[in-house]
């Protein structure tokens, strides 16, 4: 199983980026997928997740600005990020939780597979 996160980059405050998580060897719609981020000197935090049936979850810090979605035909999960702030600067990781068992969406230990991360930098 491999997850590939892409779409990061440098953007100005207020700008937008769309991250994409592509999977091989695993059907993303069969389980839950989440985006985490880790800023320098900080712990990894869960920012959004989408469950197998399509229920979405967001951290308070990104609610209303970020939108997670899944494209089953492409086996990808996207994170549309709008109104970006300097505090959104971090490495963003996608992660997949296999199966339909209950999970705590914001806990990294709940996820079975991880992508390599993509850097998002928001300049002020």
Burial, 42: exposed, middle or buried (Cβ in 10 Å; 0-12, 13-18, 19+)?
exposed
Is the distance from CB of 95 to CB of 34 less than 8 angstroms? yes
pLDDT score of 99: 82
Q: Which two structure tokens, joined as six digits, stand for 93?
A: 């990781």
pLDDT score of 69: 98
Distance from C-alpha of 2 to C-alpha of 49, rounded to nearest angstrom: 18
Sign of the Cα torsion 19, 45, 48, 75 reads: positive
Provide the pLDDT confidence category of residue 59 given band limits of 50, 70 and 90. very high
Distance from C-alpha of 49 to C-alpha of 27, rounded to nearest angstrom: 15
- Cβ-based neighbours of 56, under 8 Å, separated by 6 or more: 48, 49, 50, 68
Provide the pLDDT confidence category of residue 100 given band limits of 50, 70 and 90. confident
% of the chain at pLDDT higher than 70 = 100
- Residue 3: how many CB atoms within 10 A of its CB? 22
């Amino acid at each position: 199983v491999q997850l590939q996160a892409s779409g990061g980059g440098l953007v100005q405050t207020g700008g937008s980026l769309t991250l994409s998580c592509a999977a091989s060897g695993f059907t993303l719609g069969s389980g839950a997928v989440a985006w985490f981020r880790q800023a320098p000197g900080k712990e990894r935090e869960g920012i959004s997740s989408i469950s197998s049936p399509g229920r979405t979850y967001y951290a308070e810090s990104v609610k209303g600005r970020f939108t997670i979605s899944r494209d089953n035909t492409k086996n990808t999960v996207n994170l549309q990020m709008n109104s970006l702030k300097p505090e959104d600067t971090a490495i963003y990781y996608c992660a997949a939780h296999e199966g339909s068992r209950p999970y705590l969406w914001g806990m990294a230990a709940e996820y079975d597979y991880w992508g390599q991360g993509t850097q998002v930098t928001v300049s002020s």
